Amino acid sequence: MNPVNWILSRARRRLSRLVREDVEVALETALPQWVAYYTSAPEDRQTFYDHTQDPHLHRDYYAALGDRLRTSGVPVEDFEIDVEAFRTWLDDYSSLSAHYREAGDQFIEKCLEHYLVHHLLEITTDDRYLDVGADRSPWAAALRQHGTTGYRLDRSYPRGMNGFDIGADAGATTLPDGFATVASVHSAYQLFAGDADREFVQEASRILDDRGRYGIVPLLIDDCYYVAISPHFDQEPVIVDPGARKVWRDDGLKVPFSRHYSPESFHQRIFLAIPGDMRGKVLSCRNLPDIMRAYPGQRIYCYFTFVCEKRSRLERRAVR
């Protein structure tokens, strides 16, 4: 046999054996997981608990959750969105809306989350902003176009400072004390696995200066405290919060981990972990159905936004 053909033949047999071994290992790991998923009861799936799939039908449900937040000890303030002001803002931030059009029936939800942060946190050109868990978001760049210094942070970026991109964990950014004046997390806080959700509220206090404030939108609150896991990923290393129900994520999205708090678990796990130099509250949108009517066919579910401010900022505002 030609030496080259002999080498190729040996290589093919070796590669075939390796692939076969890998497939066998994958089947041994994944098959029981997929069997468990397909045979799971309705109450062991996320859609049994998640009301964001049909938010327009659940206004009273979210109002009751707001009452439970108050009873648990979390301050809650009602507010309304100015629909026309939001339309104008969309025109002003056309690059952002163009980016999120690919989100389909969540297009307006994604844009509204950024509008709420911009409006409720009163972001101005004097601020130094940090988008936490940004992934591919153009929000920081859009703010820079409007005169605000904007950075974005995500663990998927190369580690460290890379221009306006920062590769780091949200709960351990390595940024200097007082780096930013304002920060926010958009549709990402529920993905902070393990203790990263608690670590973030500690880290935010450190990296924000004495004018500091941050927002989490949407804050996903449901009747049941649960962690949703995906059958598409090995779930062996996933740690489920004590007291939380483990359910399968069955919405088709390949997301390995997501967390929905109950009002009581949010108070216990997050609100009580806020450092003493900051004060937080939940803002509850009373007229979200008005936005849904203005944008038919859109799934809009940011009923709750969490905002937290340095007490020094609050004191200055009280003096004005």
Three-state helix/strand/coil letters over the chain: CCHHHHHHHHHHHHHHHHHHHHHHHHHHHHHHHHHHHHCCCHHHEHHHCCHHHCHHHCHHHHHHHHHHHHHHCCCEEEECCCHHHHHHHHHHCHHHHHHHHHHHHHHHHHHHHHHHHHHHCCCCCCCEEEEECCCCCCHHHHHHHCCCEEEEEEEEEEEEEECCEEECECCECCCCCCCEEEEEEECCHHHCCCCHHHHHHHHHHHHEEEEEEEEEECCCECCCCEEEECCCCCCCCCCCCCCCEEEECCCCCCCCEEEEECHHHHHHHCHHHCCCCEEEEEEEECCHHHHHHHCCCCCCCCCEEEEEEEHHHHHHHHHC
Residue 3 pLDDT > 80, yes or no?
Answer: no
Lowest-pLDDT range of 35-49, 71-85, 205-219, 276-290: 35-49
pLDDT tens column, 239-298: 889 999 999 998 878 888 999 999 999 999 999 999 999 999 999 999 999 999 999 999
* pLDDT > 70 fraction of the chain, expressed in percent and rounded: 89
Average pLDDT across the chain, whole number: 90
- Looking at per-residue pLDDT, the higher value among 232 and 13 belongs to 232
pLDDT tens column, 113-159: 999 999 999 999 999 999 999 999 999 999 999 999 999 999 999 99
